[in-house]
Amino acid sequence: MRFSFFRAARPAGFTLVELLVVVGIIAVLIALLLPAVQKIREAANGLQCRNNLKQIGLAMQAYHDSYQTFPHAYDARALFLNPSKTPISPQGNRTLVTQSWATLILPFLEQGNLANTGYAYYHAESVPLFVCPSERRARGLYADPDGSARQALTDYLAVTGTMTFRGNPLTPWARPKCDGVIYESSRTRLADITDGTSNTMLVGERPPSLDLFWGWWSWSAFDASLGVRNTYAVYETAAEDSPVLCRSFFPENYRPGDNTNCDTHHFWSQHPGGGNWLFADGSVRFLPYQANAVLPALATRAGGEVVQEMGP
């Protein structure tokens, strides 16, 4: 008798071993691709950040064309004060609204309508050009603990020079001038920048503080301007918190952030290895942290320093 034998059909699907091999291959591919994707994303963010600064630079130049001076960092009378309640008399019974450099250039950033709304409105408005896409903090808003006020943030600060301010910060209207281009109540002209516009910085990167209490674009001092060798060693927190002493780096230096509120006292960025800087000639350059030693020379308008060519 003849018998027919049929091989049993193999069940569809993967065996456990095959499945594990496929999962392992996919994991390796993801591990290889993720750094490349992150690198491409950071390159795009860096390009957008530089473009933001270039637009700010064009606005600075347009402001200078209109007023024959660069904007000031803030009104000297408004240091650490609410700019909507700046006293204009010794008794303090009369006040006015003062402006930061960032609010002064709004009309030249196609933000004239926002500028016209006044401080009561624009202080809580986030301006995309003032936010670096590599940094997340400035995309949010600071809110007072009691919910009474909200403040929009910025990653870009005016360079006041080597120091954030000179003299006693508690003595208004009598402090010496800073040695940068944009500082309190400054009226710096292009002709005043004898170090050369290509060797003098206007704006640099510094994210808002961890608690978002510093970094408001419509305010003053550490909020919208900073010196490259700041010696203000106390970090002032919200009213209900105690001040923090920041003396680890004193005077401050251009260095990576260490994820504390004391990062507020120095320039840094979320870009790997350094940050972007706007110069007085309108150019934007990425400076690595290794350039820390030459920053004081680049921050002054008329220091007479010789700075080696750094390229575009």
Q: What is the pLDDT of residue 292?
A: 96
Whole-number Å distance between alpha carbons of 240 and 298: 38
Closest CA to 85 of 302, 162, 93, 107: 93
Q: What Rg do the C-alpha atoms of the chain give, in angstroms?
A: 26
Residue 307's pLDDT band (boundaries 50, 70, 90)? confident
106: helix, strand or coil: helix
Whole-number Å distance between alpha carbons of 188 and 141: 31
Whether the predicted pLDDT of 309 surpasses 60: no
Whether the predicted pLDDT of 39 surpasses 70: no
Q: What is the pLDDT of residue 44?
A: 87
Residue 63's pLDDT band (boundaries 50, 70, 90)? very high
Q: Mean pLDDT across the chain, nearest whole number?
A: 85
| pTM: predicted TM-score of the whole model, two decimal places | 0.83
Whether the predicted pLDDT of 106 surpasses 90: yes
Whether the predicted pLDDT of 29 surpasses 90: no
Eight-class DSSP state of 84? G
